[in-house]
Amino acid sequence: MRGFYVLLAVVAVGGAGWLIYAAQKKPAEAPAAVAPIPVANDGFKGYTLGSDSAPVEITVYSDFECPFCAAFASVQMPVVREQLIATGKLRLRFRDFPLSSHKYSRTAALAAQCAGEQGKFWEMHDQLFMRHDWAQSDKDPSDVFKGFASGLGIDMQKYQGCMDAQRYAGRIEASYEEGQARGVQGTPSLFVDGRHYEGKANSDDLKQLVDSIISARKRS
């Protein structure tokens, strides 16, 4: 019994010490010289996949570092593309929503935008999500992204200039603020024809939903 009380005392002292130590650590002050990211007002509404005349549009707010977004992009998206986008039923719009808890989300979003400047947004999107090891390493993935870009045949000088200048940082921030204004709290968040979709983000449910919207419109 005495050993038990000794153990309890050790845990109590250790736990109290840990809490006192944690309470003394304050968040790092933001450097004064760093200006807030200006929100770009260039009218850009996100890259789309699918026909402009598709009857249904899904907007997805996504974060390249988010594992759930990677699962959606790598598992559900191929089926969505085949069954809904390729058949002309659906247009998918991608919006950046880089969560502050993810260290390299904005770098990845920039890489996708810089690839998009050269007409390779979706190709880079797929690379970032399908080869998601970079998101688990906690190391600066800039070189990994360069490798993706190079593999896609992107002009590397233009790409690097775009990345160094953070050319689309304001556009990404605008997308993030748009998501916040629409009540996005996590990723991936889907909006179907402008309405927040609360259901499961899987290809079966999305197909059923899109088909039902199209059928309802035909009837009315």
Partner 1 sequence: MRHRQAIAVLALVGVFVATYLWLYKIGIIGVLQCGVGACETVQASRYAELLGLPVALYGVVGYAVLLVVSLVGLSSSFSGRRGPDLLLAALATIGLAFTLYLTGIELFVIHAVCRWCVTSAVIITAIWVTSVAALRRSL
Smallest distance from the beta carbon of 151 to partner 1, in angstroms?
27
Smallest distance from the beta carbon of 99 to partner 1, in angstroms?
6
Nearest residue (CB) to partner 1, 53 versus 100:
100
Smallest distance from the beta carbon of 201 to partner 1, in angstroms?
9
Q: Give me the residues that bind partner 1 (CB under 8 A), please.
A: 1, 4, 7-8, 11-12, 15-16, 18-19, 22-23, 25-28, 66, 68, 99-102, 136, 138, 185-188
- Round to whole Å and give the CA distance between 9 and 158: 62
Nearest residue (CB) to partner 1, 18 versus 217:
18
Nearest residue (CB) to partner 1, 116 versus 188:
188
Provide CB contacts within 8 A for 193, sequence distance 6+: 56, 57, 213
Burial class (CB in 10 A: 0-12, 13-18, 19+), 142: middle
Nearest residue (CB) to partner 1, 5 versus 119:
5
For the chain, count helices (H), then strands (E).
10, 5
DSSP annotation of 188 reads S
